Structure 1
Amino acid sequence: MAAPILAFENLGIIQGSGWLFRGLDIHIQPRDRLALIGRNGAGKTTLLKLIAGAVDADEGRRTIQPGTRVVLLEQEPDLRQRATLLDYVLHGDDAPLPYEADAIADQLGIDLSREAASASGGERRRAAIVRALAMDPDVLLLDEPTNHLDIAAIDWLEDWLSRFRGAFIAISHDRTFLTRLTKQTLWLDRGAIRRAEIGFGGFEAWTEQVYADEARNAERLDAKLKLEEHWLLRGVTGRRKRNQGRLTKLHEMRATRAAMMGPPGTANLSIGTDDARTKMVIDVKAVSKSFGDRPIIKDLTLRVMRGDRIGIVGANGAGKTTLLKLLTGELAPDSGHIRLAKTLDRIVIDQQRSLMAPEKTVREVLADGGDWIEVQGIKKHIIGYLKEFLFEPGLVDAQVGTLSGGERSRLLLAREFARPSNLLVLDEPTNDLDLETLDLLQEVIGDYDGTVLIVSHDRDFLDRTVTITLGLDGSGTVDVVAGGYEDWEKRRRLKVSGGKRPNPRKVEPTAPPAPKVKLSYKDQRDYDLLPKRIEEIEAAIKRDEALLADPTLYARDFAKFERLTKAIETAREEKDAAEMRWLELAEQVEALT
């Protein structure tokens, strides 16, 4: 193995009253493609700044080969002292050459003469990318590089990085981006760092193995994980497995919607049954919308049914926001007709996270300063509800301004999902979320009873959540595809190729498959009976939560309060175990079909 071009030994840094991390050993090889993974607050951004030399470590030694150029693409570039985006790109002694910056700006489609103060998030992100790439780095450090980028810009950046001859480390919530580009993984976890010579595609299998080994070691030593670690690890691993189970249900929903739709890009309006009419949420017939001479939406016909998860994708400026406003009734079409169900009660979660007042506490945001919150009509204790959204109990009285961007986003989701609604509108919901929170959001959307409209550039997230994708190409045409982003991308590729499907590759002969084995009697019985048992447990939890919601119970009958609290906790553990068991069996059943 070649000598590393940059390395840390025994790296440590103090944050607040203690060590954020300590004793880290890191080495970077000349062509490394590293994914840096960790929960929000684990110190990923701080670690990138340490590697870049932007901040000093409290202990440890940094070594770097002479002449090595390390460039950091920050998540929030500081443009406050710059008149234009070009001024930002070319500032400093280490600024790139103007002609190199211009070349990259042309490819990214960014006008660097734009005033910095009025630039959008996407324009600021593009300017930061131009500066970083034009500086000709040997080591490129990327902090959420796809935030605020549209699909076309993400594709361009992926292509550039695939040809990059240096090393890079990327923090990103974009699973598709990491899976396509990375070949090694750094996992920052509970103050320690692990490295695996696998790309992000193998990360979840690796972490599951690590957690399993830790659990076995804990049992062998007759010890238990700390309570907060226990619920976190169990919640993370359980959530991933449950979400894998949800994908099976999602594919069934997509197949059902595909059967209801006519030729590609249209909706089948012949399904005029009474059941279909009662389930209809948004009815769009021959709708068009233009701004000046430019058509934004042309002749769109679509039926949105109760329970649909609609993803809206396309380049910036293609008309995603316009389409969203049309579907929610905020904007009237130039022609055609849009009819919304009279009972729609919507929640809108925008990408600005504008409702989070920094001076308020978590308790004030969620429960108006109290101990209880009403979640979809059911009262829950704020501590238990926070755990569902991956918060440690000690943060209940923390001010919003002290939370990380991801934690603020999680808090907003917790508050908004508590409200009763039947239409959820999400505008770039994945910005600032770590991978575990994305798993959580996927789970919440999967369990949501109403209809969901999602504008997002996160391809993997759309593939895991939506039943229908509305793809905009900027010409006014809207492709209506039963499926996720990948299904829409296949449709795009087919259109570009003129409808010709590529010739199938030659497949080498393989050994005959092993005979499939049926489930054992016990496994089959569990598979058949567990769904009913899970429903019974859920009903018991709701019953006990309703009793616990009595505000006088704590003072009037503390023993009963404790008994109910313990019963709910035990029931939730039993429900988790039952769900995990059923999902494992469901995977076996799927393999047998």
Structure 2
Amino acid sequence: MAEAPILSWEGLGLQQGGRWLFRDLDLHIAPRDRLALIGRNGAGKTTLFKLIADQIEADKGRRSIQPGTRIVILEQDPFFSGYDTLMDYALHGPGAPAAHDVEAIAGQLGIDMARPADSASGGERRRAALARALAMDPDLLLLDEPTNHLDLSAIEWLESWLQRFNGAFLAISHDRTFLKRLTRATLWLDRGSLRRKEIGFGGYEAWEEQVYAEEARAAERLDARLKLEAHWLERGVTARRKRNQGRLEKLYEMRAQRAAMLTPGGTAKLAIASDDSKTKSVIVAEHVTKRFPLTVRGEPEAVPGEPQAVRGEPEAVPGEPQAVRGEPVEPRTPRDARPSTSSGRTGEGVEYRTIIRDFSLRVQRGDRIGIVGSNGAGKTTLLKLLTGELEPDEGKVTLAKTLSGVMIDQQRSLMQPGKTVRDILAEGGDWIDVRGVRKHVQGYLKDFLFDPGLVDTKVGTLSGGERSRLLLAREFARTSNLLVLDEPTNDLDLETLDLLQEVVADYDGTVLIVSHDRDFLDRTVTVTLGLDGSGVVDIVAGGYEDWQAKRAERLRLRPEKSKSPLPPAGGAGGGPKNTPTPQPPPASGAGKVKLSYKDQRDYELLPARIEELEAAIARGEEILSDPDLFTRDPQKFATISKGIETARAEKEAAEERWLELAEQVEG
């Protein structure tokens, strides 16, 4: 029997600007619902959140809520003005959480709540807002773009927290991977109506195409005349998606070609490039190293332009195998005698942190390069090195003389509120040059899913997603052969993400993308540069998932697996008495450390134990993917969820332990 809803809206309607934004909506949310709210920018998703939370009044309809139900909104752009510190913000207002609850979550997210609010970065503010919302112990959590400004480790942490969450949540997000992993039902807000389907986001696109196909057949039967605007805006979805499938096939071919140009270790084959290949190269990085000085206390100073990881927090994604710190990109004779760890002394008493170590890559014309890693790992530093904005300490970066770049940054600094759409695109005129082709500004707006009637609208009245889309339209019109995208998916709806994928695929030049959007990278890039904070840059032909697979494989292959039996689950010390003592690996050079018996045993057995834990986690996640499991057997759901959490914690501890031992063995 279905549970009674904790909140309902019946016949909900709201007018906006003299028209109905939506009308006669029915909405019911059960205690353990995991809902995705889908809709274009401007459809009213955030407004619906405010109606659910009773922050604004509806023009019609009846709202019902179970007594004592606590509803909490994580807003897309929380208001921090007037607060001295992030903690002051977190403790404001009625129903604010206790300080110790906020600190507990903030510690897991890696954010110092004593940081001044006015100087905090977007990522720090987002983590502070998350700490506040989660600490309030809600029964219904409304998440408006929760992954915006978060790095990969924080996104993974949030996904894990929500998997264990006992309440209901409703999420607006452009992050397809986030929605696919967490949601079990989908609400689709479309042209003023609200549809619900008991499928997670993974089945949304097929459902959407089915609905549009049924509407098209109904229109044909009724001999209805569709307006041109409705046709290109609504019915163009399926056509674009079919084109994108063709582009994905082309992307896979490009990845295969790029993989053939990389050595097994991941570095570019610089030495054997033909003359023809050289003429196609637009950026060549050769043995590049970049360092920044540490403070007296041993903490890294802020890297110019680089978001900083918080002290004590892992640089890489929680639960994922970590690369051995100091591992070279490709084995070769060292060029100098500097230490191989991520920090060391390179001058008189001055200690440095190595952000990028011995990095080599040849970027070909037409490459789509994705740069991923946690905040502070060095993504922005690497981007600036590749574009010539920053000089390396060692090695060199050579840019093609004909290189002409366009950068679309996450600050959206060009979008001045007082200007009109026409001002932004055509400097107040009627025509715009789109990469050498003259187009009418209203026609060009339609290419980017805008109503042509918005041409004289002030930028300040557009939503955040619409401003981002307008910026993309402006920058893609410029003639260039290098496109640099810094977090391009922030504030974009799913339809615009499809459009961005399409435009990037059709771009004639080279593209560099810094992004935490895993699905977007998997659909777009040919090569991924992955940073784990050690200074090593993985070079992988493929997207985010290909990088993750490489990291997991590296951990399995190093060191060589021992044939010794595994210890029992209770620990390493409880094995059979007749188990032969593992022998230390043969020495391979000076500087190697001889481990104690216990350390040697852990060093040999931990890789196999990590594999066991990974397999157990995968089995548990496969069981939890059943959307009916919680309703059918809530106790089993809770037990498996707890087991996954325990296995992940043990796996992370095992990986950290093995890395420490590996550093000792390798000197």
TM range, smaller chain: 0.7 to 0.9
Decide which of 490, 509, 515 is 1:431's aligned counterpart: 490
Contact 1:264 1:481 in 2 (8 A): no
- Give the superposed CA RMSD: 1.5
One-letter amino acid of the structure 2 residue matched with residue 176 of structure 1? T
1:135 matched to 2:194? The reply is no
Counterpart position of 1:400: 459
Using the TM superposition, give the Cα deviation of residue 271 of structure 1 relative to its aligned residue in structure 2, in angstroms: 3.6
* 3-state secondary structure, aligned to 2:80: coil
Contact 1:425 1:454 in 2 (8 A): yes
Structure 1 residues 387 and 271: CA distance shift in structure 2, 3 A: farther
Higher mean displacement: 377-386 or 231-240? 231-240
Using the TM superposition, give the Cα deviation of residue 393 of structure 1 relative to its aligned residue in structure 2, in angstroms: 1.3
Using the TM superposition, give the Cα deviation of residue 448 of structure 1 relative to its aligned residue in structure 2, in angstroms: 0.3
Summarize deviations over 1:39-80 as a string: whole Å, max 9, x none.
000000000111111111111111001111111000011111
Counterpart position of 2:437: 378
1:467 matched to 2:468? The reply is no
Decide which of 356, 364, 376 is 2:415's aligned counterpart: 356
Decide which of 519, 538, 543 is 1:484's aligned counterpart: 543
Counterpart position of 2:380: 321
Using the TM superposition, give the Cα deviation of residue 498 of structure 1 relative to its aligned residue in structure 2, in angstroms: 4.6
Contact 1:346 1:424 in 2 (8 A): yes
Counterpart position of 1:388: 447
Using the alignment, how far apart are the partners of 2:235 and 2:99 within structure 1?
A: 52
Counterpart position of 1:90: 91
1:163 matched to 2:164? The reply is yes
Contact 2:373 2:532 in 1 (8 A): yes
Contact 1:289 1:298 in 2 (8 A): yes
* 3-state secondary structure, aligned to 2:260: helix
Summarize deviations over 1:104-147 as a string: whole Å, max 9, x none.
01100000000000000000000000000000011000000000
Any residues of structure 2 matched to 1:9-20 within 5 Å, and which? 9-20=10-21
Using the alignment, how far apart are the partners of 2:271 and 2:86 within structure 1?
A: 52
Contact 1:178 1:200 in 2 (8 A): yes
Any residues of structure 2 matched to 1:192-271 within 5 Å, and which? 192-271=193-272
Contact 1:265 1:478 in 2 (8 A): no
Using the alignment, how far apart are the partners of 1:388 and 1:75 within structure 2?
A: 27
Structure 1 residues 133 and 497: CA distance shift in structure 2, 3 A: farther
Using the TM superposition, give the Cα deviation of residue 229 of structure 1 relative to its aligned residue in structure 2, in angstroms: 1.0
* 3-state secondary structure, aligned to 1:260: coil
1:330 matched to 2:389? The reply is yes
Using the alignment, how far apart are the partners of 2:395 and 2:162 within structure 1?
A: 44
Counterpart position of 2:476: 417
Contact 2:285 2:361 in 1 (8 A): yes
One-letter amino acid of the structure 2 residue matched with residue 196 of structure 1? K
One-letter amino acid of the structure 1 residue matched with residue 516 of structure 2? H
Aligned residues: 506
Using the alignment, how far apart are the partners of 1:206 and 1:424 within structure 2?
A: 34
* 3-state secondary structure, aligned to 1:439: helix
One-letter amino acid of the structure 2 residue matched with residue 485 of structure 1? Y
Using the alignment, how far apart are the partners of 2:240 and 2:443 within structure 1?
A: 17
Contact 1:351 1:431 in 2 (8 A): yes
Using the alignment, how far apart are the partners of 1:234 and 1:372 within structure 2?
A: 27
One-letter amino acid of the structure 2 residue matched with residue 11 of structure 1? L
Contact 1:348 1:426 in 2 (8 A): yes
Counterpart position of 1:30: 31
One-letter amino acid of the structure 2 residue matched with residue 413 of structure 1? L
* 3-state secondary structure, aligned to 2:264: coil
Counterpart position of 1:7: 8
Contact 2:419 2:458 in 1 (8 A): yes
* 3-state secondary structure, aligned to 2:48: helix
Contact 2:212 2:235 in 1 (8 A): no
One-letter amino acid of the structure 1 residue matched with residue 383 of structure 2? L
Using the alignment, how far apart are the partners of 2:401 and 2:516 within structure 1?
A: 30
One-letter amino acid of the structure 2 residue matched with residue 308 of structure 1? D
Using the TM superposition, give the Cα deviation of residue 376 of structure 1 relative to its aligned residue in structure 2, in angstroms: 0.8
Decide which of 497, 504, 508 is 1:449's aligned counterpart: 508
Summarize deviations over 1:231-288 as a string: whole Å, max 9, x none.
1123222111111111110010000010000123312224421220110011111100
Using the alignment, how far apart are the partners of 1:157 and 1:277 within structure 2?
A: 44
Contact 1:33 1:184 in 2 (8 A): yes
Using the alignment, how far apart are the partners of 2:505 and 2:48 within structure 1?
A: 34
Using the alignment, how far apart are the partners of 1:271 and 1:23 within structure 2?
A: 67
Using the alignment, how far apart are the partners of 1:38 and 1:140 within structure 2?
A: 19
* 3-state secondary structure, aligned to 2:187: strand
Counterpart position of 2:588: none
One-letter amino acid of the structure 2 residue matched with residue 113 of structure 1? A
1:458 matched to 2:517? The reply is yes
Contact 1:89 1:101 in 2 (8 A): yes
Contact 1:260 1:271 in 2 (8 A): no
Unpaired segments ≥5 residues, structure 2 = 294-351, 559-606, 616-667
Using the alignment, how far apart are the partners of 2:539 and 2:249 within structure 1?
A: 21
Counterpart position of 1:280: 281
Higher mean displacement: 454-463 or 230-239? 230-239
Using the alignment, how far apart are the partners of 2:549 and 2:91 within structure 1?
A: 40
Using the alignment, how far apart are the partners of 1:335 and 1:23 within structure 2?
A: 65
Contact 1:283 1:340 in 2 (8 A): yes
One-letter amino acid of the structure 1 residue matched with residue 262 of structure 2? M
Structure 1 residues 496 and 54: CA distance shift in structure 2, 3 A: farther
TM-score normalized by the length of structure 2: 0.75
Using the alignment, how far apart are the partners of 1:271 and 1:231 within structure 2?
A: 49
Higher mean displacement: 228-237 or 312-321? 228-237
Contact 2:422 2:428 in 1 (8 A): yes
Q: Percent identity?
A: 72
* 3-state secondary structure, aligned to 1:239: helix
Counterpart position of 1:535: none
Using the alignment, how far apart are the partners of 1:264 and 1:195 within structure 2?
A: 48
* 3-state secondary structure, aligned to 2:480: coil
Summarize deviations over 1:184-203 as a string: whole Å, max 9, x none.
00000000000000000000
Contact 1:71 1:139 in 2 (8 A): yes
Using the TM superposition, give the Cα deviation of residue 426 of structure 1 relative to its aligned residue in structure 2, in angstroms: 0.4
Counterpart position of 1:368: 427
* 3-state secondary structure, aligned to 2:360: strand
Counterpart position of 2:553: 494
Contact 1:313 1:469 in 2 (8 A): yes
Counterpart position of 2:155: 154
Using the alignment, how far apart are the partners of 1:17 and 1:300 within structure 2?
A: 58
Counterpart position of 1:305: 364
Unpaired segments ≥5 residues, structure 1 = 506-593
Contact 2:14 2:23 in 1 (8 A): yes
Counterpart position of 1:54: 55
Summarize deviations over 1:467-499 as a string: whole Å, max 9, x none.
000000011110001100000011122234455
